[in-house]
A = this chain, B = another copy of it.
Amino acid sequence: MSVQYDDLKDLVKNENQIMIDNIPDEYLTDTLKRLRGYADVVIKPTSTEEVSKILKWAYEREVPVTPRGAGTNLVGSTVPDHGGIVLDLSLMNHILELDYETLTATIEAGVLLQDFQQYVEEKGLFYPPDPGEKTASIGGNISTNAGGMRAVKYGVTRDYVMGLEIVLADGRILNVGSKNIKDSSGLSLKNLIVGSEGTLAIITKCILKLIPKPEISISVVVPFDSLESGLESVLTIIKENANPTAIEFVERKVIKLGEAFLKLSFPYPNAQAYIILTFDGKKDEVSANLSRIKEVVLHKSALNFIILDDKKLSENVWKIRSVLVKAVEAVSEQEPVDIVVPINKTLEFIKYVNKLEKETEMQMVSFGHAGDGNVHLCVVRGNRVESEWIKEKHENMAKLYSKAYELGGITSGEHGIGLTKKEYFLNETKNINLELMRKIKSDFDEKHILNSHISYNL
């Protein structure tokens, strides 16, 4: 049937929730703006009921729907590759309940991470997941099972999702999970939705687990004369049972880019690499852990142990750490990678990256979450012309993913697969696993209208 997008106006409260002509470019792409799709209409629902009506309408007409939170993804998952509807959940950004007794919050999916973190911290509570991109929406964080800095101690987004309200492709609304802490009652549909990149259903509401806010949080910079010695120290730190919140690694050459980008200084410039640690919790506990780890790493190969008790200095260190992808991007186009390997393979993987960098003369900037084997790589274009860049980037990416899988690793630790990593993910994943994922996709969305071009989909 011919699709009359104008009819959608009847399904929402206000006509200005819909854009049919002159759709702004931001709705057709992701943060990196390298891929562009096209859309017939952008709709901004304000309630679950509106989402339901819109999906029912789209399902009946087999119109593709690309859900979108804040559009901060890096892998093309908000690119409306097949046209149709861009479903922008940014107006569904209300905090609906803070339940002190169960330590849960119920919020709409479009709430931004930074707003939610600030809200709960002002009330003495804490939402541990802490991906670098604070302007992401919580719905987006759930859809990619976002990780971030604090995963070493606190786990990832999945660990804080207690329940979800979702809308199926055909418009039916259901709840998965609940405020209950334990659950052995049937298949865990909730855990299927977490990390499903908008391919199974639209998340409209989220029940999130909170914890009491830690008394203090202190970071430390530990400089090393090589990345190898730094990464070797990480396994020692983990075994010490000192419960670090974050363990990040970064090479001096990358820090320099961050310093230049922000015009800020990082401590101890005469090092080749750094481990940045955070400890949080009760004051006594944190200082006991700090002393113990200080002793351990200085006994190994650390050059110093710089406790960032100066608030300004601590902020600067984390600002520089958080800006690295942008700092690299400011110098040259780059392709972001967030491969994960088992934690004891991080060093071997980084060594491989360095070798590949030399062999191919393509710059590969690496840093990331040493505490959980989640390596962030920027594969840098430099001055390559378009055709060279595309060809060589593709060859190198294939090698990187292949090496990661050889080491027992996987494609993505927190960004998701989207469009840009799909080829590598499909290459490295067993057919039988993909077959099951695709069958499950059809269970939720038989007509394949929801983000059906990304991730595990054909």
Contacts and interface: CB of A to CB of B under 8 A. Distances in A.
Given A174-B430, A182-B374, A187 B443 contact: no
Given A172-B432, A182-B151, A408-B179, A196 B192 contact: no
A238 B103 contact: yes
Given A172-B432, A433-B174, A443-B443, A343 B181 contact: yes
Given A178-B408, A342-B102, A184 B433 contact: no
A101 B344 contact: yes
Contacts of A416: 184
A355 to B, nearest CB: 22
A196 B145 CA distance: 22
A171 to B, nearest CB: 11
**Most chain B CB atoms below 10 A, which of A159, A341, A436:** A436
B443 A340 contact: no
Contact of A189 (B235, B239, B373, B436): B436
B182 A372 contact: yes
B374 A181 contact: yes
A426 to B, nearest CB: 10
Nearest to A101: B344
Nearest to A289: B282
B443 A186 contact: no
A34 interface: no
Main secondary structure, interface of A, reads: loop
Interface string A402-432: 0000001111111111000000010001101
Interface in A331-385: 338, 340-344, 369, 372-374
A137 interface: no
A188 interface: yes
A433 to B, nearest CB: 6
21 contacts: A99-B344, A101-B342, A103-B238, A151-B181, A168-B432, A172-B432, A179-B342, A180-B341, A181-B413, A184-B414, A184-B415, A186-B195, A186-B417, A186-B437, A186-B455, A186-B456, A189-B433, A189-B437, A211-B241, A284-B288, A285-B288
